Amino acid sequence: MHIALFKPDIPQNTAAIIRLGACLNLKIHIIEPCGFDLNDARFKKVAMDYTGLSSIIRYGNYDIFIKKNQKLRVILMTTKAKKSYHKFRFKKDDVLLFGRESAGVPSQLHKSIKNKLKIPMNKNARSLNVAMTAAIVVSEALRQNNFYI
């Protein structure tokens, strides 16, 4: 199972997702540029020593990411999706793509991705924190693929 972060803005969120990846043996793909330096103290405080336990792959841009992972199915998590994550059948090598905290993914990229999912939530709320969203969806994807056995 893979998590991909598209130009992440917030170091603490990225660090929390790296920690999630370390604990659940997920590959973490970071599509740059990030909105922070990976040496940022806020990033290091949350990531602690989990970066050494994680499989982190960095890409200069989305095109490089897609070229190197063209055999994998990319699933975009977005509040604009019509389908809920719990009604989707995940595969063991899926890539869960999360957009930038401040802006999501560009509309052209959004249109190019076939599978788009959302977490159903209160209509008056804007969105969940990206790290919380990742944990919720990864948990379901892993459960469906019997990774907890």
Q: In the chain, where are the structural domains located?
A: 2-144
User: What number is the average pLDDT over the span 117-129?
Assistant: 93
Q: Is 118 in contact with 85 (CB distance < 8 Å)?
A: yes
- The pTM for the full model equals 0.92
Does pLDDT of 36 surpass 90?
A: no
Burial status of residue 79 (CB atoms within 10 A of its CB: 0-12, 13-18, 19 or more): middle
pLDDT of 2 reads: 97
pLDDT band at 51 (very low <50, low <70, confident <90, very high): confident
Cα distance between residue 79 and residue 77, in whole Å: 7
In CATH terms, the superfamily for domain 2-144 is: SPOUT methyltransferase, trefoil knot domain (3.40.1280.10)
Read off the tokens for 22: 């370390």
pLDDT of 149 reads: 53
Cα distance between residue 107 and residue 40, in whole Å: 29
